[in-house]
């Protein structure tokens, strides 16, 4: 072995160690719950054995020795000589941690300095404490092999299980030729070959003995669970050279007393324990493993870059193609071919891109599997009882993200355990179950991954956060008094703020949430908190699926095109210049009654104006972006649409200019810059929204908005709250026997809706339905009603000072259908009272069938 260059295998070895440690961690947690589960013990034992084997082959003696002792302990558990107690589990966990340290020592090259003796002693102590008089009855198996074969209870159990899964148990006896050199190597080869054929549950003599050249005679018997036929097994074993004879004997099934093979004298007889029958449907002992290849991440990264370039070229092709149709109408055939090719190319590239993304994706399970252990330890330390549930383990995300989000999640979990969940006694007192519940959930939502951590603890008390924040000086009392509860809760993201009454070594020092937020911001993610005092807290983290190719919104700031990562874009609104105000020399916008800090990116970035864009506008495009908990509006000159972009670094030479996260190449080959939303938001969010004029708020309350529409030449208005939907005109199903006003019914997303022709209702001339015709769905008690109008114009904002109320019964309002008239300059909008319109319209005939269980009328 010494001749090999082991360093080449070190990576593989370390990966394997990680894998096995992961298995140990999770399986031991199961063991703690179900101490007698044979499969779990089997898995644990196998993992420990693999660890020992691989560390031995790499020549890491100390690791081998330690894992050997650990394996012995598992062996005792397996043979029911040691009972599983919490104390035992603790020691095992400690040992696993120690192996992790050993692993690190191997990486650092300091393995020789590690002292394994105290840990080995602990394991020995366990053995001494737990040793019970052996109660296993030994079954002697006489087979054609020359080695005595004994199966213990545990192994018999496994065989029983195997039968229920349709496997066959066979005893494979192999004799090596007498003068064979390196018998132990042959034995291992046989062992490996058999492992391919099925599951080896026992070997006689034990594998360890086979490994020692001196003691090994060349005779061996394996007990194998397999689905292969006898001949197949013989063939498999015979691939190894220097084998004298191979014999395969079927072990009889327990229920079947008749020997399946005259050569097999022994039956593995066992009364089936009910436990085994009821066994949960864990996959059969031998899991189907898909063949995999380990690939260097750099290589993947390179391929990903190439795919990125293809994506860029493809958008360029599409771009050229669209320009061709404009100019070259004469060459339709060629363009058609080009079309075909570009379409096919796009499809292939899209699939390639998805495929590449998938290779970078790993199930979040890899990350989640670390948590149960951590939750258990943290809960124990903080004396909480916790039921930990994980959902959506199979959710896949980019491997680079998995590492990055680990810390924030651990932190949030610790917080939930330490601060969120109350002590068991306290919980009982307030009528909650003793065990606190924490649900960690991962799911895909469109192009994002959403991870939420929900606890049923005491929730975050905004007042406490406020006190803490004021005490820490993060915020003045005056400022704090203006914040909403939600804004107060978000203060926990400020450094130094903590609601914990006492600081533990787990959390409470108030530094953590700050870091969590920073982490998530770095990943271009968002974080949200929902908390109800006394009921619990939900932290939601929203992250982009991958970091390399992202969806973005293209906008123009002045003459420049910028890409804004779509994950940060919450909405795009158009804001009237009237709604933009100066507060503290800063522009803020009023959006649905909330104050939004605005940033004119063009000025911030000092970009020259684009001549084609008019300078003074009545309305501004505002892109509402968010990072973590903050929201601001960016004023853009133009929005260009969404596009998938490949993030490219600007390189070291350019460095990292302010507000710019990188660059990307557009469809026309030009370079667009990617806006670093987090830096803009961070800078802007530093000041809290203060001194917002209160009277402005008041005014806002009095402000009313109307959806306006046209009938003939007049403009009418409907309160925006009442307008549930505006749809273009679908097929209208005529209804017989109804009033003239009623046009019929339509099917609006599965709901039948009566539609009234407002023209008819107002005794106007009936007009054809045009492209501009719309149906406004008006909310109405009991049943919504649709009104057909000529055209929906826009939204009218007005306050009640501008509305004149015509006296009832005056000559132009004899039917009382008019609520008021709004005059804004030359624009006159008649505000209608839809309650009255609906009531005075006869829509009864179709109300009838609607109330029946089975509607007679069906929309197409």
Partner 1 sequence: MTNDQPINTVQFVVFSVNGQLCSLSIEEVVEILLVPVITSIPGIHETIEGVINLRGNIIPVINLHKRFQLPPAIKHKKNRIVIVQGDNENIGLIVEEVKMVTKFEEDNVEPPPGVQLEKDIFKGFAKFDGQVIGVLDLKKVLYSLGA
Name which of 307 and 775 has its Cβ closer to partner 1: 307
Closest to 789 (Cα-Cα) out of 757, 815, 836: 757
Name which of 95 and 643 has its Cβ closer to partner 1: 643
Q: How far is the CB of 630 from partner 1 (least distance, A)?
A: 22
653 binds partner 1 (CB under 8 A): yes
- Identify which range of 487-495, 626-634, 663-671, 754-762 contacts partner 1 by CB under 8 A: 663-671
Q: How far is the CB of 677 from partner 1 (least distance, A)?
A: 16
H or E segment to which residue 211 belongs: helix 207-211
- Identify which range of 662-670, 689-697, 700-708, 796-804 contacts partner 1 by CB under 8 A: 662-670
Name which of 20 and 678 has its Cβ closer to partner 1: 678
Residues in the chain: 860
Closest to 262 (Cα-Cα) out of 143, 146, 163: 143
Q: How far is the CB of 322 from partner 1 (least distance, A)?
A: 19
Contacts with partner 1 by CB under 8 A: the residue count is 27
Q: Which of 27, 32, 71, 219 is catalytic?
A: 71
672 binds partner 1 (CB under 8 A): yes
Question: In a 10 Å sphere around its CB, with 0-12 CB exposed, 13-18 middle and 19+ buried, how is residue 11 labelled?
Answer: exposed
Does the bond joining 205 to the residue before it have cis omega, within 30 degrees of 0?
yes
* Distances from the Cα of 719 to the Cα of 21, 23, 781, 829, 830, angstroms: 64, 61, 15, 12, 11
User: What is the helix, strand, coil percentage profile of the chain, to 5?
Assistant: 40, 25, 30
Question: Among 276, 338, 515, 660, which residue interacts with partner 1 (rule: CB under 8 A)?
Answer: 660
DSSP string covering 406-421, please? HHHHHHHHHHIIIIIS
649 binds partner 1 (CB under 8 A): yes
641 binds partner 1 (CB under 8 A): no
Closest to 822 (Cα-Cα) out of 801, 795, 793: 801
Question: Among 101, 669, 795, 840, which residue interacts with partner 1 (rule: CB under 8 A)?
Answer: 669
Name which of 308 and 512 has its Cβ closer to partner 1: 308
- Identify which range of 65-73, 227-235, 671-679, 711-719 contacts partner 1 by CB under 8 A: 671-679
Q: Which of 415, 524, 568, 813 is catalytic?
A: 415
Structure tokens at 285: 């002992």
607 binds partner 1 (CB under 8 A): yes
Name which of 309 and 740 has its Cβ closer to partner 1: 309
673 binds partner 1 (CB under 8 A): yes
Task: Specify whether the backbone of 459 is left (phi greater than 0), alpha (psi in -120 to 50) or beta.
Answer: left
Question: Among 34, 46, 648, 682, which residue interacts with partner 1 (rule: CB under 8 A)?
Answer: 648
- At residue 495, the 3 state secondary structure works out as coil
206 binds partner 1 (CB under 8 A): no
Closest to 346 (Cα-Cα) out of 311, 377, 384: 311
Structural contact between residues 264 and 251, judged by C-beta atoms closer than 8 angstroms: yes
49 catalytic per annotation: yes
Q: Which of 27, 32, 43, 49 is catalytic?
A: 49
Question: Among 658, 840, 848, 856, which residue interacts with partner 1 (rule: CB under 8 A)?
Answer: 658
527 binds partner 1 (CB under 8 A): no
Structural contact between residues 790 and 709, judged by C-beta atoms closer than 8 angstroms: yes
663 binds partner 1 (CB under 8 A): yes
Name which of 283 and 606 has its Cβ closer to partner 1: 606
Structural contact between residues 453 and 440, judged by C-beta atoms closer than 8 angstroms: yes
CB < 8 Å & 24+ apart, contacts of 7-10: 9/58, 10/58, 10/106
Structural contact between residues 197 and 226, judged by C-beta atoms closer than 8 angstroms: yes
Q: How far is the CB of 658 from partner 1 (least distance, A)?
A: 5
In angstroms, rounded to a whole number, what is the distance separating the alpha carbons of residues 376 and 385? 9
CA dihedral sign, ordered 400, 402, 403, 409 = positive
Q: How far is the CB of 54 from partner 1 (least distance, A)?
A: 39
Task: Specify whether the backbone of 718 is left (phi greater than 0), alpha (psi in -120 to 50) or beta.
Answer: beta
Question: Among 657, 690, 794, 828, which residue interacts with partner 1 (rule: CB under 8 A)?
Answer: 657
Written in H, E and C, the secondary structure of 253-305 is CCCCCCCCCCCCCCECCCCCCHHHHHCCCCCCCCCCCCCCCCCCHHHHHHHHH
650 binds partner 1 (CB under 8 A): yes
Structure tokens at 445: 């939502």
Contacts with 213 (C-beta within 8 Å, 6 or more apart), sequence order = 182, 183, 184
Q: Which residue is it, tokens 């992790």?
A: 100
606 binds partner 1 (CB under 8 A): yes
Binding mask 305-324 for partner 1 (x = CB under 8 A): ---xx--xx-----------
419 catalytic per annotation: no
Name which of 338 and 660 has its Cβ closer to partner 1: 660
CA dihedral 565, 570, 572, 578 (to 10 degrees): -130
563 binds partner 1 (CB under 8 A): no
628 binds partner 1 (CB under 8 A): no
- Identify which range of 57-65, 377-385, 418-426, 655-663 contacts partner 1 by CB under 8 A: 655-663
261 catalytic per annotation: no
- Identify which range of 253-261, 480-488, 533-541, 657-665 contacts partner 1 by CB under 8 A: 657-665
Question: Among 107, 297, 443, 654, which residue interacts with partner 1 (rule: CB under 8 A)?
Answer: 654
Catalytic (active-site) positions? 49, 71, 415
Where do contacts with partner 1 occur on this chain (CB under 8 A)?
308-309, 312-313, 560, 605-607, 648-655, 657-660, 663, 665, 669-673
């Amino acid at each position: 072995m010494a001749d090999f260059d082991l360093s080449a295998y070190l990576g593989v070895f370390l990966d394997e160690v990680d894998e096995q440690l992961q298995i140990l961690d999770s399986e031991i947690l199961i063991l703690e719950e179900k101490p007698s589960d044979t499969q779990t013990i089997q898995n644990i034992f196998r993992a420990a054995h693999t660890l020992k084997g691989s560390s031995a082959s790499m020549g890491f003696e100390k690791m081998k020795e330690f894992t050997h002792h650990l394996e012995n302990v598992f062996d005792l558990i397996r043979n029911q000589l040691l009972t599983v107690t919490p104390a035992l589990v603790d020691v095992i966990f400690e040992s696993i941690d120690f192996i992790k340290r050993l692993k690190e020592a191997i990486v650092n090259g300091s393995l020789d300095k590690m002292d394994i003796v105290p840990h080995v002693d602990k394991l020995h102590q366990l053995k001494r404490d737990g040793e019970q008089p052996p109660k296993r009855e030994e079954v002697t198996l006489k087979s054609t092999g020359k080695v005595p074969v004994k199966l213990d209870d545990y192994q018999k159990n496994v065989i029983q299980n195997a039968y229920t899964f349709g496997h066959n148990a066979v005893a494979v006896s192999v004799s090596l030729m007498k003068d064979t050199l390196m018998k132990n190597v042959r034995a291992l080869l046989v062992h490996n070959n058999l492992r391919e054929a099925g599951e080896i549950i026992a070997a006689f003599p034990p594998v360890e003995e086979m490994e020692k050249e001196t003691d090994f005679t060349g005779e061996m018997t394996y007990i194998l669970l397999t689905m292969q036929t006898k001949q197949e097994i013989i063939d498999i074993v015979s691939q190894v050279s220097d084998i004298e004879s191979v014999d395969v004997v079927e072990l009889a099934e327990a229920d079947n007393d008749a020997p399946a093979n005259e050569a097999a004298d022994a039956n593995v007889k066992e009364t089936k324990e009910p436990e085994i029958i009821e066994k949960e449907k864990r996959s059969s002992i031998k899991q189907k493993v898909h063949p995999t290849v380990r690939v260097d991440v750099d290589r993947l990264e390179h391929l990903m870059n190439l795919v990125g370039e293809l994506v860029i070229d493809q958008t360029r092709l599409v771009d050229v193609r669209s320009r061709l149709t404009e100019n070259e109408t004469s060459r339709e055939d060629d363009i058609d071919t080009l079309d075909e090719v570009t379409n096919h190319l796009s499809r292939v590239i899209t699939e390639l891109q998805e495929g590449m993304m998938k290779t970078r994706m790993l199930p979040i399970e890899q990350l989640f599997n670390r948590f149960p252990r951590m939750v258990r330890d943290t809960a124990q330390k903080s004396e909480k009882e916790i039921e930990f549930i994980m959902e959506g383990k199979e959710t896949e995300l980019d491997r680079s993200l998995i590492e990055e989000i680990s810390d924030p999640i651990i932190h949030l979990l610790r917080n939930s355990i330490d601060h969120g969940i109350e002590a068991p006694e306290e919980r009982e007192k307030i009528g909650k179950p003793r065990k606190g519940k924490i649900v960690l959930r991962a799911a895909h939502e469109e192009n994002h991954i959403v991870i939420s951590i929900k606890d049923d603890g005491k929730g975050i008390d905004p007042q406490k956060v406020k006190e803490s924040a004021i005490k820490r000086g993060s915020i003045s009392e005056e400022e704090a008094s203006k914040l909403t509860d939600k804004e107060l809760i978000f203060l926990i993201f400020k450094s130094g703020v903590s609601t914990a009454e006492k600081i533990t070594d787990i959390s409470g020092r108030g530094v953590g949430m700050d870091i969590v937020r920073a982490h998530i911001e770095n990943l271009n993610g968002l974080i949200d908190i929902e908390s109800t005092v006394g009921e619990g807290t939900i932290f939601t983290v929203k992250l982009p699926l991958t970091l390399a190719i992202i969806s973005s919104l293209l906008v123009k700031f002045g003459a420049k095109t910028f890409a804004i990562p779509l994950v940060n874009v919450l909405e795009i609104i158009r804001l009237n210049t009237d709604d933009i105000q100066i507060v503290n020399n800063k522009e803020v916008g009023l959006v649905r009654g909330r104050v939004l800090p605005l940033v004119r990116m063009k000025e911030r970035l000092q970009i020259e104006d684009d001549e084609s864009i008019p300078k003074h506008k009545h309305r501004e495009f505002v892109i509402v972006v968010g990072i973590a908990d903050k929201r601001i509006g960016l004023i853009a000159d133009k929005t260009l649409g969404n596009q998938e972009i490949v993030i490219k670094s600007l390189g070291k030479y350019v460095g990292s200019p302010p507000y710019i996260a990188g660059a990307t190449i557009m469809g026309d080959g030009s370079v667009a810059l990617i806006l670093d939303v987090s830096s803009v938001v961070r800078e802007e969010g530093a000041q809290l929204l203060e001194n917002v004029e209160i009277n402005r708020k008041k005014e806002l309350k009095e402000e009313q908005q109307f959806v306006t529409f046209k009938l003939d030449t007049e403009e009418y208005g409907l309160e925006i709250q009442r307008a549930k939907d505006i749809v273009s005109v679908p097929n209208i199903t005529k209804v017989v026997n109804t009033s003239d006003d009623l046009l019929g019914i339509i099917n609006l997303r599965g709901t039948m809706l009566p539609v009234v022709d407002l023209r008819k209702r107002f005794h106007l001339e009936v007009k054809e339905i045009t492209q501009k015709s719309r149906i406004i769905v008006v909310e109405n008690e009991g049943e919504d009603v649709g009104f057909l109008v000529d055209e929906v114009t826009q939204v009218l904002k007005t306050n009640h000072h501008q509305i004149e109320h015509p006296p009832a019964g005056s000559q132009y309002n004899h039917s009382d259908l008019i609520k008021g008239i709004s005059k804004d300059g030359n624009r006159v909008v008649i505000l209608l009272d839809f309650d009255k319109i609906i009531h005075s319209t006869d829509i009864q005939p179709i109300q009838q069938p609607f109330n029946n269980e089975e509607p007679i009328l069906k929309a197409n």
